[in-house]
Amino acid sequence: MFTTVQTVTPKAGTAIELRAVSKHFYQRQPAKSLADWLSPKRRQIPALDDVSFSVARGEFLAYAGPNGAGKSTTIKLLSGMLTPTTGEVTVLGLSPLKERIPLMRRVGVLFGNRRELWSDHPVSASFRWKREVWGVPKAVFDEMESLVLELLDIRPFYQTLARELSLGQRMRAELGMMLLHRPELILLDEPTLGLDVLAKRQIIAFLKELNERDQTTILVTSHDMDDLEEMARRILLLSNGKVAFDGDFSALRGALKLGKKALVRFRNQSLREIPYDDIGALLQELSALEGVAEIEFAQNSLEEGLADLFSSWKAPS
């Protein structure tokens, strides 16, 4: 297993706490006999397996892992949609299942693959709906409405029907609506899924500003490591339902032992990639080369390092 770094957060300022949480699902196995067909066997799938971690208030946590690692299950546990099989989940000091209603007033949840906007109504109508259903005070609504319209550039399509929006516009509107009650904690499940570069930039910049300005606690899942690194300071990696790494991005880079390489371009336009650990040995090798036009030094990206790592975990996809 991978290196695990324990992050200690002060109790008083804890936004999320998972204590020895496991969540198991059951998968029916194909029948191999009449007895199996009559009484099917089920295999236990540990979506989360004895997971413990906490997130301090004001923290921006990247929650990553390969497909099937348990990321979405965690978000569902945190928002009271599922109960853990064992263990305890506390969010903003409340139990998500037993105190769902007061918790939902303080938390914002966004699933990248789901819609909360009313398809046959303009975005503005969905915003008004949110205000009424959440009982958002007018002053808070007005402030948050102008903030999200401005920073997420929603104004140009504020009166457009939600079903007529592009994916990027829809995600910005979904994010804006989610924030209207000024949540203390935001849970985002793949908010940049399928977005183009511009829409991603807008959402990332906005989330960073929100975290820095209001100290809003944010937990975000994504498969895009560059996005996560740009947004979050801390990353928690899941593998097969277990915490495989918990620390900051520089520690992750160190732990992954990302290789360095020299890219050599020759005068005849051919290219050669030379991996190295020791710069002295590399220089010696380079000095022996002839016809060198250009040398570029690079480090393997986090994405490449994690791809190798996920592949070594052989996680279910």
Partner 1 sequence: MGDKLSLRRVFGLLALYARMDLDWLLRDAKLSLLDAANGLIACLSSLSGVFLLAWRFGGVGGLSPWQILFMLGFTATVAGLCMVFFGSNNVAHISRRIGRGQLDHMLLQPLPLWLQLIAEGFLPFSGCPRLLVGLGLVLWSLRGLELSPGWFWWLSLAGYLACAVLCLVGLSYLWSALAFRWPVAFEEISSVVIDEICGPLSQYPLSILPPALLWPLVSILPAGLLAWFPSCILLGRPPLGLPELYPLFFTLGLWALAIFTFRKGLLYYVHYGSNRYTQGGHRN
Residue 193 within binding range of partner 1, rule CB under 8 A: no
Q: Give the full edge-to-edge strand order of the sheet including 60-64.
A: 107-111, 185-189, 217-221, 60-64, 234-239, 242-248
Residue 38 within binding range of partner 1, rule CB under 8 A: no
**Binding-site member from 69, 109, 195, 210 for partner 1 (CB under 8 A):** 109
3-state secondary structure of 279: helix
- Residue pointed to by tokens 């990027």: 168
- Alpha carbons 110 and 28: distance in angstroms, whole number: 30
Question: β-strand 185-189 against 107-111: which pairing, if any?
Answer: parallel
Kindly report the number of other CB atoms within 10 A of residue 214's CB atom: 14
**Binding-site member from 13, 46, 87, 100 for partner 1 (CB under 8 A):** 100
3-state secondary structure of 243: strand
Residue 80 within binding range of partner 1, rule CB under 8 A: yes
Closer residue to partner 1 (CB): 25 or 297:
25
Sketch the per residue contact string, 208 through 247, with partner 1: x for CB under 8 A, - otherwise.
----------------------------------------
Closer residue to partner 1 (CB): 134 or 249:
134
In the residue annotation, 303 being an active-site residue is answered as no
Residue 125 within binding range of partner 1, rule CB under 8 A: yes
Cα four-point dihedral sign 168, 170, 173, 174: negative
- Alpha carbons 262 and 273: distance in angstroms, whole number: 6
Q: Are 89 and 55 in contact (CB under 8 A)?
A: no
- At 227, list the tokens: 């996005």
Q: Which stretch binds partner 1 (CB under 8 A): 53-61, 93-101, 152-160, 285-293?
A: 93-101
- Alpha carbons 222 and 228: distance in angstroms, whole number: 7
User: Angle at CA 58, nearest 5°, toward 52 and 64?
Assistant: 45
Closer residue to partner 1 (CB): 104 or 205:
104
Question: β-strand 271-276 against 260-266: which pairing, if any?
Answer: antiparallel
Residue 188 within binding range of partner 1, rule CB under 8 A: no
Q: Which stretch binds partner 1 (CB under 8 A): 134-142, 147-155, 201-209, 249-257?
A: 134-142
Q: Which stretch binds partner 1 (CB under 8 A): 108-116, 195-203, 221-229, 266-274?
A: 108-116
Residue 114 within binding range of partner 1, rule CB under 8 A: yes
Q: Which of 174, 184, 190, 229 is catalytic?
A: 190
Binding residues (CB under 8 A) for partner 1: these are: 25-28, 45, 47, 73, 76, 79-83, 97, 100-102, 104-105, 109, 114, 116, 118, 120-121, 125, 128-129, 132-137, 181
Q: Show which residues are catalytic.
A: 190
